[in-house]
Structure 1
């Protein structure tokens, strides 16, 4: 089988999931034709992704959230107006996506939550089947539980998620825990995609707190805590443009430019982990049995954090209260079932991909399980 990947270029999780799928697809002797990556001018593609991608990486401009004041939470309405002004560019790029699908002729388009792919399948649908994969598709599941947050924000989150998957044959919802499929919405619940490097690590309890912050505005908050607690060693990763590989703020506080190998090594050796509640790194911490402080930066991460609490990941806060994280270490209980759930990922995911492929190659099969029209 031949795949074409389309990846949302915001944050670390989608890139990591795409690389995991690349590894597992190639192990089966299948092919990835290319990576189409929707990016914004505010983000650089991480070196680890560019270095590990084994197929051409083709970038295009895609809608994104703009940081709000202090570069922390994204500004919703500011982002909406900004993206509306760029609508002609986005329409052009939808046509570009369609042409790339026609050029490469894959058997399946695998979409990692990229909005323009869903819109392409809505307004100018290609003949190639699309499968969408991401934790966000849990938000469309009838039995998913949401935190008590703004109904408007939750509506737009679910609306955006639907748009990314318009025309999809399957929505593969990555989940912290098993849950029944939502057949009426064509959602299949599957385990997280963890890199083989994670599953090979042997965790040890170190003497430092590891952290990851997507937006650099959190630096002042963490620095202030460090001033009052200089005895605690902090290792934080960030993705600031042109940042040094390592920047030592003090003898016990260091900032590292995002690097996947270094990050995982430090994850395995930390005593606790603090993050803005991205799904991927919380799963890695769960697997390595590290207590987590989750500081959601937007509504999607607020839902991630609420969901992760059910899996016993750690605690949630409105700020980087590392004191609370330190206190939680004593009462943390590892989720020993999580590793068993992760071990089922390949079986569940590739059985769905095979079914989609066979249903389109042999149309008479379509409808034996599902007869889906987005």
Structure 2
């Protein structure tokens, strides 16, 4: 009988510490994203500059991801996570420094913008390591039988931090300005760094010390591309994020389409994330392991429809409602994808599979930002978002017909199997 305790993962002390540090890190990260987008657009007044920010993060994150996965599988996860957070704190401090009065009075606008682009680029390198490390660490904190519950709480924490971070970021820009807001972000990253040391070191499960980097990368990629369920789930999310998302150009909507200002920007970001977190919390009580594939297809289709409505809206209340509904579907999709990955991935390959996940979904956030910026420049922001939503719908329909393994996926037996193994152990 499956574990129906909605708080199963929360009964593990180290997992709670992990959730707290992840909240602090993502809260600061989300604020930083909003602040950078707002500040760069204010400096340049050019939609393409927002796309460039996405490109600066996408390029290193995408191409470093396979190597990052190899390293994550070979290294101890707690200390590696601490190193990544420490390096990220330097980037946060650098952006804080670039917005200081001393720099703004002595540097040209172009130099400041280029400096921000460079720091975002280095952040992209770290981004390649964040996803695989977190994905691998979660599996070492909780037993396999409660992976779906842990994935739900982890995703909910991520979205919760996103919703509050985006909302607070927008309001803090208006209240205390860009520079002071970035100072708060730096302190949050330092807090996350301190918390990570409350988690004990974990064993390294990949013991193939003689495996070359090339062989390691090949094994990881072949595993993902040979599993139609994992490949289908990653492809769906990648297309939805790449073409259906519009977060990178929310500043354009807030400023030029809806006339809502920086507070409106925070509300737009928050609306999308709020729908996600409420749905994720609901899935702790309403498990998604039955008819998993069909639920995933419906969720991504609903996300695409909601984004089409957002793109065509000129009313602020309708825009935030559409984003809230999009967030609901996005929350279901995210929990299902994380559950599939956690249950279907062998322990010794979590770093590499997490890296491929980052390439498909994580990096598509940045590539999607570039796509959104270019499309907004060519078609205008509203039409660009509507076309992206249509691309998402076409992908879901195609995947539903072409991938029966994903369409008919049901994870109930997987959960029962893990519970039996743990009871026998």
Q: Same fold (TM over 0.5)?
A: no
Q: Which has the higher strand share?
A: 1
Normalised by the length of structure 1, the TM-score is 0.26
Normalised by the length of structure 2, the TM-score is 0.24
Q: Which has the higher helix share?
A: 2
